Structure formats: C-alpha cells, structure tokens
Amino acid sequence: ELYTALVDLKEVLYTEGVLIKTLETYIHAETTKLKLLQRYVDLYKSQHQLASEDVDTYVANPINAYLLIKRLTADWRQVESLLHMNLVQETVANISAYKEYLKFPTDEDLNGAAVALTRLQDTYKLDTSSLARGELNGVKYSSELSATDCFELGRQSYNNGDFYHTQLWMTEADSRLGREKNETIDKSEILEYLAFSTFKLGDVPLALDLTNKLLEIYPNHPRAVNNKNYYESALAKTQGAHKKGDDNAYDVPIVSDMPVYSDSLDPPERTLYEQLCRGEVKTPVEITSKLKCYYYNKNRDPFLLLAPFKVEEAYKDPDIFIFHDVMYDEEIETIKNMARPRFKRATVQNYKTGELETAQYRISKSAWLKEIEHKHVANVCKRVVDMTGLTVETAEELQVVNYGIGGHYEPHFDFARRDEVNAFKSLGTGNRIATVLFYMSDVAQGGATVFPHLKLALWPKKGTAAFWYNLHSSGDGHILTRHAACPVLAGSKWVSNKWIHEMGQEFRRPCDLQPPPPELTI
C-alpha cells in the first residue's frame, strides 16, 4: 500500500537506485567477461590462421606443437571457467536478498496508483492526452507516458471493471503508438482491449470496427474471430428489433459510462464536492460579506497578549475559523519525523459493524502522537486550548495524516451519528464536539478541504489551522459540517487533526436551551 502516501515513494526511489547499480555491476562484469573471451578468440584465430596456411610445417615445429596443445588444455580451461562463470545467478540472488530489506511496490500498489490517476482525471477534469503529456491542469510536471504506459493504465482499469477509463486510455495508447518511432507495444493488444471495452460501453458497431482492424493484423486471432461473430449477431438482432420497432436496441449489457467509486455519495453531493475541489464554486456572497478577520486572545494569556492569534472567519453558522501561524516550522518537522515510522493506512469505522477497515474513499497514511512524547506535541495541544477555549483533557491524541498520489477523504462527518455502532464508546468521553485541523504543508495543486453543503473550500497553507464545532450546543450532530479532503493533484499534503470531545466542556461550551432545527441535525 505504497500509493497511499508520498513518504513511502521515496523509499521505492531508493530501491530503484540500488537496482540500477546492481544492473550496472552485472553489465560491467558480463562485458569484461565477453571482452576476455573475445581476446581468447582473437588469439586462437590468429594462431589457427597461421597454422592453416601450412599445416604440415606448423605441426612439425615442436614449439607450435606445444603451443597448440597448450591452447586446448591449459588455456582452454580458462575459457571454460569463464564460460561457467554464472553472473546471472549471482545477480538474481542479490536481488532476491534485497527483497528482505528494500521496499518493493506490489501489484496492488500499481493498481492503486492507476486508480488514483483516473480519480484525479475525473475530479479535476483532466483530459487524457494532456495527462499523457505529463501535464496537470496546464502545468508540465513529469515525463510523458509512452503507448505502453497508457496501455498499462487501461489494463489496470479493465481489471477493475472500469470500462470507461479502459476506453479512454486504450484510445490514448493507440494514438501515441501511431507517433512512436520505436513502438513500445503491439497494436493488436490495444485493439483487443479497446474493442471489448467499447462493446461493454454499448457501442457495438464501433467494437466490430475495431475487431475488424485487429483481424487485419492477425486474421486468425482466435478471440477476435469469436468476438466478431458475437458482435455481428448482436447487431443483426438489433436490426431485427429496430424493424419491429423495439427501442431496446442492443442485446448487450450497457454499463454506465462513468465509474462508480462509492455508493455513499448522492450524485448532487459528488458534483458539488468535485466542483469545489476544482475551485469552480464560490461561497455565496451573503455569507462572505459577513466574515471578519481579527486578533484574538480568549484566555487572556500574557503570552497571547503580546502575540494574539490571527483569526479569519471562513463561515458563519456553522462558524468555521482559520487560525494563521499556529504551528511553527520546527514543530511541523518534529511531528512529521515522529509520524513517519508509525504510518499506517488510514482506517474508517464501518458504520454498521463498528469495525475499523480500509476504504477506497479514504486514502492516506496516519499515525497518532501523544503529548508526553515530545514538547512540540504538547505545545501544539496547549495552543489548541488557547485557540478554542476548550479542554483537551478528553481529546484524542494528535492524528498526523499524509496524503500521497490522489490521496483523499470523501465527504464525511467527524462526529459519530446516533445510529453508529460502538463509535467512541470505548473512549467514554462523548462525541467529537469540535475539530482542529492543522495544515502542515502547502499543496502544489488540489488537496482542499471542502464543505459541500456550505459551498466552502479551505486551501491548505502551512502553519494554519481550521476550527469548527461538529455538534450543535444541544449535542446533536451538525449536518452542515460534512466535509472532505479533495484528492492531491500535485505535491504532498500533511495535516494533523485534534479531535476535541464533549466531556469536560460543560462550562466552556454550555448547552443551549433552544434545540436546533431538526433539518440541521443528524
């Protein structure tokens, strides 16, 4: 599960470096061996040539006789030992040994990275050709993808049953192949996947066309021959149906042309979420016109009188605040270094069973840090008290999160809903009353925290923190605090969460006598 965070990719890059060195060493040894053999051959040839010119004279000479025999005994043993030298075995053994202590990505990682790319493609509406050119939203970052790279992306999508992206990437592979001097993949392979995904998406005439193209290359391709027959009969049926006026045209499974990631988001929420991620939706002016920025010192802490918090209101009702410069670079470095070796793939609580499990809708790595472990962690927690006026006695430990390629967290609530099994029960401190979300990095592109119901996007800025109450003062969950972490498009995103619980806040945030409107609770 390397694709879940960028930190691990650095280790993979190191592995690649070791493999390059190993291969170079092997090639060097093999070249030296071949050069030596070449030298023997040259020597043998020149002597042999000489002998062949006048065989009788040559063998009659005792020195020549001696040399000839020596060449095929002592010298030949050297040649044989060179031939026996098994450099391949040695190299392969070395590489196997590396598997013990170097990080190698798995096929699951490859699939994860491919899914992440296609997710970015959808969320940020990236067109396939630009992506293949190494461009992300018009910014050229990486090297280009070859036809075979595009083909592999298509194949991964195909294996996931995602025919929409199979078609996109196989089409791109085909057009790239047409421009390649040294072709990196066989056209017939592309055509086979392209035809089948096209068929699955319901375009039988095009699938037949593509299959015919494949048959031009390999007239006896067994699967293509079968498919051609199948498509032709499907089309014949269709034409019959048309004549009969049957509108249900094709006798083929027509799958939806857009992939379905998770069933938890209703389509309008997904649309808003993605629009916010792309920065296409702005918070309504009725809200933004009421927002203020100010200096703040709730606890009248003498230190804070000198350096009060810089607060920016991001939303009103529910109130969402941005605190500027509340985590220092030194603290961020400490926290990152402590988290790195403990990172685990982030889990989510199964809503029905209460079990923790990994899920496609939350892809990141996270670790928990205790206050007692380092003064920097303790200072950050103390700051949370000053910022919020709440106690952190009952809060969870600091959760550090790193998002890698396409890492994201789809819309969710931080609090536990009434019908959730076991949520936070073992903690015995009540529900998550408030969230403080520290941004520990800037993000080159993507990675906003968005609140779809509020049409609000918070863009990560290193050292700032967002703060909001998840619960109404009645203790009911606030439906409008639903939020998400958009996929990271470029760069690496680091955040940490301090989740503050209900218990102990009785006098700090008194309960309201007025219950909230039912439509705002969940």
Ligand X SMILES: O=C(O)CCC(=O)C(=O)O
Q: Which residues bind ligand X (CB under 6 A)?
A: 401, 409, 414, 437, 449, 483, 485, 495, 497
Q: Which is nearer to ligand X, 187 or 336 (CB)?
A: 336
- Kindly compute the dihedral angle of the four CA atoms of residues 355, 356, 360, 361, in this order, to the nearest 10 degrees: 90
**Residues 330-349: b if buried by 16+ CB within 10 A, e if exposed:** ebbebbbebbbeebeebeeb
Q: Let me know how many helices (H) and strands (E) the chain has, helices first.
A: 17, 20
Smallest gap from residue 483 Cβ to Fe ion (A): 6
Cα 285 to Cα 268, 347, 448, 456, 488: the distances in Å are 21, 37, 20, 11, 27
Q: Which is nearer to ligand X, 211 or 449 (CB)?
A: 449
Q: Which is nearer to ligand X, 148 or 492 (CB)?
A: 492
Smallest gap from residue 450 Cβ to ligand X (A): 8
The partner in contact with residue 4, picked from Fe ion, ligand X, none with C-beta cut-offs of 5 to 8 angstroms by kind, is none
Smallest gap from residue 93 Cβ to ligand X (A): 44
The partner in contact with residue 166, picked from ligand X, Fe ion, none with C-beta cut-offs of 5 to 8 angstroms by kind, is none
Q: Which is nearer to Fe ion, 6 or 495 (CB)?
A: 495
Read off the tokens for 119.
Answer: 């997710």
Smallest gap from residue 290 Cβ to ligand X (A): 24
3-state secondary structure of 310: strand
Q: Which is nearer to Fe ion, 8 or 414 (CB)?
A: 414
The partner in contact with residue 485, picked from ligand X, Fe ion, none with C-beta cut-offs of 5 to 8 angstroms by kind, is ligand X
The partner in contact with residue 410, picked from Fe ion, ligand X, none with C-beta cut-offs of 5 to 8 angstroms by kind, is none
Find out whether 491 and 453 touch, Cβ atoms under 8 Å: no
Q: Which is nearer to Fe ion, 414 or 420 (CB)?
A: 414
The partner in contact with residue 327, picked from Fe ion, ligand X, none with C-beta cut-offs of 5 to 8 angstroms by kind, is none
Smallest gap from residue 399 Cβ to Fe ion (A): 10
The partner in contact with residue 177, picked from Fe ion, ligand X, none with C-beta cut-offs of 5 to 8 angstroms by kind, is none
**Bridge partners of residue 401, in order along the sequence:** 366, 495
The partner in contact with residue 384, picked from Fe ion, ligand X, none with C-beta cut-offs of 5 to 8 angstroms by kind, is none
Find out whether 504 and 391 touch, Cβ atoms under 8 Å: yes
The partner in contact with residue 495, picked from Fe ion, ligand X, none with C-beta cut-offs of 5 to 8 angstroms by kind, is ligand X
Spatial CB neighbours of 292, under 8 Å, sequence gap ≥ 6: 313
Binding site for Fe ion (CB under 5 A): 414
Q: Which is nearer to ligand X, 154 or 447 (CB)?
A: 447
Question: Of all residues in this chain, which one has the CB nearest to Fe ion in the complex?
Answer: 414
Q: Which is nearer to ligand X, 472 or 483 (CB)?
A: 483
The partner in contact with residue 449, picked from ligand X, Fe ion, none with C-beta cut-offs of 5 to 8 angstroms by kind, is ligand X
CA 108 to chain centre: 11
* Count of C-beta atoms within a 10 Å radius of residue 1: 16
Spatial CB neighbours of 202, under 8 Å, sequence gap ≥ 6: 250, 252, 254, 255
Nearest C-alpha neighbor of 267 from the set 515, 459, 452:
452
The partner in contact with residue 198, picked from ligand X, Fe ion, none with C-beta cut-offs of 5 to 8 angstroms by kind, is none
Smallest gap from residue 485 Cβ to ligand X (A): 3
Find out whether 465 and 438 touch, Cβ atoms under 8 Å: yes
Smallest gap from residue 413 Cβ to Fe ion (A): 8
Smallest gap from residue 466 Cβ to Fe ion (A): 10
3-state secondary structure of 36: helix
**Residues 413-450: b if buried by 16+ CB within 10 A, e if exposed:** bbbbeeebeebbeeeebbbbbbbbbbbbbbbeebbbbb
Find out whether 317 and 284 touch, Cβ atoms under 8 Å: no
The partner in contact with residue 454, picked from ligand X, Fe ion, none with C-beta cut-offs of 5 to 8 angstroms by kind, is none
Residue that has been written with the tokens 């000839």 in this structure? 68
The distance between the two most distant Cα atoms of the chain, rounded to a whole number of Å, is 122
Q: Which is nearer to ligand X, 71 or 345 (CB)?
A: 345
Smallest gap from residue 372 Cβ to Fe ion (A): 25
Smallest gap from residue 417 Cβ to Fe ion (A): 14
Q: Which is nearer to ligand X, 191 or 488 (CB)?
A: 488
Smallest gap from residue 16 Cβ to ligand X (A): 29
Distance separating alpha carbons of residues 280 and 450, to the nearest angstrom: 12
**Residues 133-147: b if buried by 16+ CB within 10 A, e if exposed:** eebbbeeeeeeebbb
Find out whether 400 and 367 touch, Cβ atoms under 8 Å: yes
Smallest gap from residue 311 Cβ to ligand X (A): 19
Q: Which is nearer to ligand X, 288 or 349 (CB)?
A: 349
Read off the tokens for 55.
Answer: 């065989």
Q: Which is nearer to ligand X, 2 or 401 (CB)?
A: 401
